[in-house]
Structure 1
Amino acid sequence: MTPPATAPAPTTAAAPATGAAGEAWRVGVLFSRSGPTSVTETEHFLGTELAIAEINGAGGVLGRPIVPVVHDPGGDSGEYRALARRMLAEDDVSVIFGGSMSASRKAVLPIVERYNGLLFYPSMYEGFEYGENILYIGATLNQTIFPLADWLMARGARRVHLLGADYVFPRESNRVMRDLVESRGGEITGERHLPLLASPEAIAAEMEEVARLAPDVVFSTLVGRTAREFYRLYDAAGIDRHARPIASLTMAETEMREIGVAKCDGHVLAATYFSGLPGAENADFVRRFRDRFGPDATPTTWSEPAYLQVHLFARALAEAGSMDPRRLSDAALGLEMRAPGGPVRMDPETRHMWLTPRIGVARSDGGFDLAWTADRPVRPDPWLAVTRFEEAWTAAPV
């Protein structure tokens, strides 16, 4: 995974159907660059675009370019469903890179199954799912919440408040965090779920409740605009963020800039990638990302898995020699490679990735100090079948 630094931009223009030698490999790209989650989904889009450009600049796959067919569903689950159907039924596409929120994945997956396509899904998510027509690239809860809960409680955070958006990822994530905290003798001070586009009054009311309860930490699974507004209100309330932070699985470098980095230092993120990771491989990735998207662009835990998914696809396609979803899947399962976030492996049993969990504490310059890193990649356990709630999490594979 060390392609050239510069490459021609991918195009969304029509291309010949795959089949004959020299024709293009058409793929769907389905992320919301508008709507309530536009910031993070644009990060997905940029990581995907960079990887496609680099692969094409290096000669494509088996001598053929990857040509993306791009649609923007605007954060609407109905549009995700309709556009996935259009791609698979009309756009001569059998592979889609897309979906961000679990609601969008749930909308797209039945369509992908009906048309026998293959979905690469790059987001961290709640787990408890398996599909023969999907490859899960993002982290599962045993790679995020389990180390986060232990790290927080080891530092004295015994009283935890749960605040999330009202859909499956926040509800399942908060359920697991509750079990972890209570199994370790901690206390949940409250749990609330707000609409994805909550009103300013509703967000302010939740902030007042948090200030009244004074938990040691707020575990936030809010997303998009609502999350950013809550972080601003937390700063305005004057709470010592280093003593009583917000901890999340999603609030990364780009969104912190949207909030204002001086309002975010001290907050905690559990993720498998940070832009400030040490090592020449990540430094080269950051440089290539900025060469393409500008000197202020920063790759995040949203863009790096999206970048990884395309390189995984390209490796599988080179082996399979076909866009047939079954053959691509079979070629991808068990693949190992180097990613900017470290070594990864597509687990053949679960169709999820072995990844390296990390915990970062935000700085006032918009970056993160790495507070903890697992000593090796951790096996995904999307159903929490072998990861135990009543024992301290371990960095060793389960």
Structure 2
Amino acid sequence: MVNRRRFLLSGSAAFGGSLLLKGCRGRSAAIRDPRQPILVGSLLDATGAVSAVGVQMIAAAELAIAEINAAGGLLGRPVQLKQYDTQSDIQKYTQYAQQLVLQDNVDVLIGGITSAAREAIRPVVDKYKALYFYTTNYEGGLCDKYTFCTGVTPSGQIDQLLAYLSDRFQAKTIYTLAADYNFGQIAAKWTRFYGKKHGMEVIQEDFIPLQISDFSTSISKIQQLKPDAIVTVIVGANQWGFFGQWAATGLQSKIPLTCLTYNHPYVNDHTSKLEWTNIIVAEPFWVENPAAASQKFLNQFRQKFGADKYPASLAATHYTAIKLWAEAVKKAGTTDRAAVTQVLESGLTYTTGPLGSVSFDKTHHIAHTINILESTEDQAFNQVAGPFSNISALEDQGRCDLIARPNTSEQFTPKI
């Protein structure tokens, strides 16, 4: 079983003290006592099925806020993290989102790991006109004036991975194995869409409930159909059992396998495991990346949380979101949502983080530099293609323009 290291989560950054700031229900953040800290409301799983992701994202938030405070805070005020453990429970995302906005009176909301969690938060955000950052890799297509996304979408992952599979392996047929909720279901549609673009056909799709850990039925079908490549969109602790079961077939080195979520901390403890070998991923950040900005982030992360930590892409995209928001607050001179949004939409660029130079476009997404990586037996990565620069989120297929049509609140799915 994969060793899941836990970070020491203090729940606060520099300036210390209690994070429990009592607010009046519905009171605007703009009229809070200016001597009070600026509050970042966080909804992430410190426990639960996807907590291995959550603890890294919480740690990344703590690091970003500690750095902001070490530089003097924002607008002459300290910044504090108000973190609720959502425990991989969708109901808690809605409950705590309301509490952060209406009672804790936070200045910005950040978090949600799965797409289901995001969609539990977003109605609260839209109803109360809050500012929200969603930072994980996801299925793309979200168009909402209150939401900004820093994670990678299928144009950065599936499109790049299928192009690589076609070029390197001359793959023509694909078997898709996906989690049975909106992330997996929509990502599977994008696999068909981008597969067609690269002359590839999806010959089978299996949608697996998150609680399932026995993949024998799917593996038997893979052995029978003999696809040229496998695309996995697996999520949750139980589903990582697939890799061990797949390795036991002896086909691990014979059929190339890609995964949209492998460079996450479920498996990045760098213990030697044969089943983690030869998995192909597309990511903007990995710890072996020699780029100066990546190594700086890695060193800062390890100095704060320990030399044995292996932050993955979601830590980098979460950290970047907080730094972009902070830059916008400084430029706006206020934490007011409308003013900060206007700055974020103006092309504000954050240049010194682990993702390189990034800014939001008219869809409230950032463009990424994507690298194709292949895992080694010790869970490190070798870069096998790329980098591919300025890969924009294209899943709206030209239908999202929050500058021209700011009242849009929709998630576009692929027109195939």
Is this a same-fold pair by TM over 0.5?
A: yes
Q: Tell me the residue number matched to 1:396.
A: none
Q: 1:369 to 1:10 in 2, by over 3 A?
A: farther
Question: How many residues align structurally?
Answer: 376
Q: Work out the CA distance in 1 between the residues paired with 2:82 and 2:275.
A: 38
Q: Tell me the residue number matched to 2:397.
A: 384
Q: Tell me the residue number matched to 1:244.
A: 255
* Correspondence 1:13 to 2:40: no
Q: Work out the CA distance in 2 between the residues paired with 1:148 and 1:261.
A: 23
SS of equivalent to 2:286? coil
Map residues 290-305 of structure 1 onto 2, 5 A cutoff: 290-305=302-317
Q: Which residue type is aligned with residue 161 of structure 2? A: L
Any idea what the Cα deviations from partners look like across 1:51-76, whole Å, max 9, x if unmatched?
A: 11111122211221111111011111
Q: 1:364 to 1:9 in 2, by over 3 A?
A: farther
Whether the 8 Å CA contact 2:53–2:264 is kept in 1: the answer is no
Q: Work out the CA distance in 2 between the residues paired with 1:134 and 1:80.
A: 16
Whether the 8 Å CA contact 1:146–1:180 is kept in 2: the answer is yes
Q: Which residue type is aligned with residue 227 of structure 1? A: Q
Match of 2:267 among 256, 267, 271: 256
Q: Work out the CA distance in 2 between the residues paired with 1:296 and 1:86.
A: 35
Q: 1:240 to 1:229 in 2, by over 3 A?
A: closer
Q: Which residue type is aligned with residue 355 of structure 2? A: G
Q: Please report how far the alpha carbon of residue 9 of structure 1 lies from its aligned counterpart in structure 2 after TM superposition.
A: 8.2
Whether the 8 Å CA contact 1:47–1:303 is kept in 2: the answer is yes
Q: Structure 1: which 5+ residue stretches go unaligned?
A: 1-6, 387-398
Q: Work out the CA distance in 2 between the residues paired with 1:27 and 1:8.
A: 13
TM-score, with length taken from structure 1:
0.89
Q: Please report how far the alpha carbon of residue 341 of structure 1 lies from its aligned counterpart in structure 2 after TM superposition.
A: 2.2
Q: Work out the CA distance in 1 between the residues paired with 2:227 and 2:98.
A: 45
Map residues 174-185 of structure 1 onto 2, 5 A cutoff: 174-185=188-199
Q: Structure 2: which 5+ residue stretches go unaligned?
A: 1-12, 24-28, 400-416
Q: Work out the CA distance in 2 between the residues paired with 1:164 and 1:337.
A: 34
Q: Work out the CA distance in 1 between the residues paired with 2:319 and 2:65.
A: 8
Q: Work out the CA distance in 2 between the residues paired with 1:374 and 1:8.
A: 36
Q: Which residue type is aligned with residue 236 of structure 1? A: A
Q: Which residue type is aligned with residue 198 of structure 2? A: R
Q: Tell me the residue number matched to 1:164.
A: 178
Q: Work out the CA distance in 1 between the residues paired with 2:91 and 2:126.
A: 17
Q: Work out the CA distance in 2 between the residues paired with 1:317 and 1:277.
A: 30
Q: Please report how far the alpha carbon of residue 10 of structure 1 lies from its aligned counterpart in structure 2 after TM superposition.
A: 6.1
Q: Tell me the residue number matched to 2:26.
A: none
TM-score, with length taken from structure 2:
0.85
Q: Which residue type is aligned with residue 215 of structure 1? A: P
SS of equivalent to 1:143? coil
Q: 1:131 to 1:295 in 2, by over 3 A?
A: same
Match of 1:234 among 246, 268, 271: 246
* Correspondence 1:344 to 2:355: no
Q: Work out the CA distance in 1 between the residues paired with 2:73 and 2:125.
A: 25
Q: 1:384 to 1:261 in 2, by over 3 A?
A: farther
Whether the 8 Å CA contact 1:39–1:224 is kept in 2: the answer is no
Whether the 8 Å CA contact 2:97–2:121 is kept in 1: the answer is yes
Any idea what the Cα deviations from partners look like across 1:74-110, whole Å, max 9, x if unmatched?
A: 1111111111011111111141111111111111101
Q: 1:16 to 1:55 in 2, by over 3 A?
A: farther
Q: Which residue type is aligned with residue 144 of structure 1? A: Q
Map residues 1-398 of structure 1 onto 2, 5 A cutoff: 8=14, 13-15=19-21, 19-156=32-169, 157-198=171-212, 200-201=213-214, 203-241=215-253, 243-252=254-263, 254-257=265-268, 261-333=273-345, 334-338=347-351, 339-347=353-361, 349-385=362-398
Q: Work out the CA distance in 1 between the residues paired with 2:272 and 2:235.
A: 16
Q: Which residue type is aligned with residue 179 of structure 2? A: A
Determine what percentage of the aligned residue pairs are the same residue: 27
Q: Work out the CA distance in 1 between the residues paired with 2:264 and 2:41.
A: 27
Q: Which residue type is aligned with residue 68 of structure 1? A: L
Q: Work out the CA distance in 2 between the residues paired with 1:135 and 1:12.
A: 28
Whether the 8 Å CA contact 1:345–1:355 is kept in 2: the answer is no
Q: Work out the CA distance in 2 between the residues paired with 1:94 and 1:118.
A: 8
62-71 vs 104-113, which moves further: 62-71
Q: Please report how far the alpha carbon of residue 138 of structure 1 lies from its aligned counterpart in structure 2 after TM superposition.
A: 1.0
Q: Which residue type is aligned with residue 64 of structure 1? A: R
Whether the 8 Å CA contact 1:41–1:302 is kept in 2: the answer is no
Q: Work out the CA distance in 2 between the residues paired with 1:204 and 1:34.
A: 28
Q: Work out the CA distance in 2 between the residues paired with 1:323 and 1:20.
A: 13
Whether the 8 Å CA contact 2:133–2:147 is kept in 1: the answer is yes
Q: Which residue type is aligned with residue 183 of structure 2? A: F
SS of equivalent to 1:50? helix
Whether the 8 Å CA contact 2:371–2:388 is kept in 1: the answer is no
Q: Work out the CA distance in 1 between the residues paired with 2:250 and 2:17.
A: 47
Q: Work out the CA distance in 2 between the residues paired with 1:257 and 1:280.
A: 21
Any idea what the Cα deviations from partners look like across 1:260-289, whole Å, max 9, x if unmatched?
A: 643212101112222222222221211111
